[in-house]
Amino acid sequence: MCQEQKGFTIWFTGLPCSGKSAIADRVAEILREHNLKVERLDGDVVRKSLCRDLGFSREDRNENIRRVTFVAKLLTRNGVVVLTSFISPYREIRDEARREIGDFIEVYTKCPLEVCIARDVKGMYQKALRGEIKEFTGVSDPYEEPLNPELVLETYQESLDESAQRIIDFLKKTGYLDHNF
């Protein structure tokens, strides 16, 4: 499609089960269909490899995001579209990621807690509500909503494809993708 692909990072943030991974996977699929170089960095996958030594304290969560930021920065500067899906509950570390990466698009997958609980196929929310999981975002640990994300996807009101299309439209409008995409 294009000779010199410009790298950028789309940083999906939101409560567990708010739709981050599903939307990021769908956007990655669309971008790959257009022969773009795309890399997915997903919280569950990264936690099993790059960050398996970390727990869920605030310090460990921040270190997790710092490591992911480093990888995303390297990929971005080498012309790769990076789609991350991390709860990344704290504003300060998301802002740090934005400064480090540069070409950074924050996408907030906004979804009410009750809907996230209903979507939870792993039963993590129920365990957290019973006190079996400590430091669970949205239950016993805070989630700090983004103040000025580039996009807010109200995932409880729009379909997966509608959310993905909103991202593609944003990328075209802002010049990250060619208008003929």
Q: What counts of helices (H) and strands (E) characterise the chain?
A: 7, 5
Whole-angstrom distance, CA of residue 101 vs CA of residue 84: 12
- Name all contacts of 165-173 with Cβ < 8 Å and 24+ positions apart: 167/10, 167/23, 167/27, 167/107, 168/27, 168/30, 170/105, 171/105
Contacts of 92 (CB under 8 A, 6+ apart): none
CB 65 within 8 A of CB 48: no
Catalytic residue IDs: 88
For residues 66 and 92, what is the distance between their CA atoms, to the nearest angstrom? Answer: 11
- Provide the sign of the torsion angle of the four alpha carbons 26, 10, 56, 145, taken in this order: negative
